[in-house]
Each structure stands twice: as C-alpha cells, then as structure tokens.
C-alpha cells in the first residue's frame, strides 16, 4: 500500500496568516492526489482533486500543487471557517490511502 505522510500534524496560526500543509507519498503518484477538509462532527469535504483542481464552490484562497511524491495545500489568508482538519488522499493505486491528517488551529 502507498503510505501518505502529512506535515505538520498540527498547525497553530492566526486569521490572515498563510497556511501550508505538505503531503508526501511513499512512491510516485503523478498528480493522483486529493485534499479534504473535515470539521468536528462533520463528514469530510472535497477541496481539491488531481493535486491542483479546485472544486466548485471552494474559495480561491485554497490552492494545491505538486506531483510525483511531494504535494502542498496552501491557504493564502486564513479565515475563521478554515480552522479544521485536512487530509490528503492518493488515488494512484488501490487501496486509496489517506494521510494521518493535519489539524489547523487558532
């Protein structure tokens, strides 16, 4: 199975800061990388698919980049509603594995 490792595991930031989360795959996965946001007690929400494709309705302050083994989720200016847990997921080969999550806190 492909192992996905996110860093950091938690991130403290303030409203208006730039937030950056990285995800590393244990083998090359091209751009088969998705990002999800999860708020407490809620289901995850798809933010970005194929490494950089922003889902409809997701604010443009979110962006994704990377290919191969290293990927980045960037939030250009953190808003109060962005404080949540973020997961990356590879869809290069089954089973489609997730990273362990990054909790973004104020």
Residue ranges in contact with another protein by CB under 8 A:
32, 34, 36, 42-46, 49-50, 55, 87, 89, 91, 94-101
CB of 96 to another protein, least distance (A): 5
CB of 41 to another protein, least distance (A): 9
Rounded to the nearest angstrom, the gap between the alpha carbon of residue 29 and the centroid of all alpha carbons in its chain is 15
CB of 44 to another protein, least distance (A): 6
């Amino acid at each position: 199975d492909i192992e996905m490792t996110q860093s950091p595991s938690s991130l403290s930031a303030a409203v208006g800061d730039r937030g950056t989360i990285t995800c590393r795959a244990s083998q090359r996965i091209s751009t088969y990388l998705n990002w999800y946001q999860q708020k407490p007690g809620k289901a995850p929400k798809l933010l970005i698919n194929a490494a950089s494709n922003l889902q409809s309705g997701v604010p443009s302050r979110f962006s994704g980049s990377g290919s191969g083994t290293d990927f980045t989720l960037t939030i250009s200016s953190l808003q109060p509603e962005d404080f949540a847990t973020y997961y990356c997921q590879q869809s290069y080969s089954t089973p489609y594995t997730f990273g362990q999550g990054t909790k973004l806190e104020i």
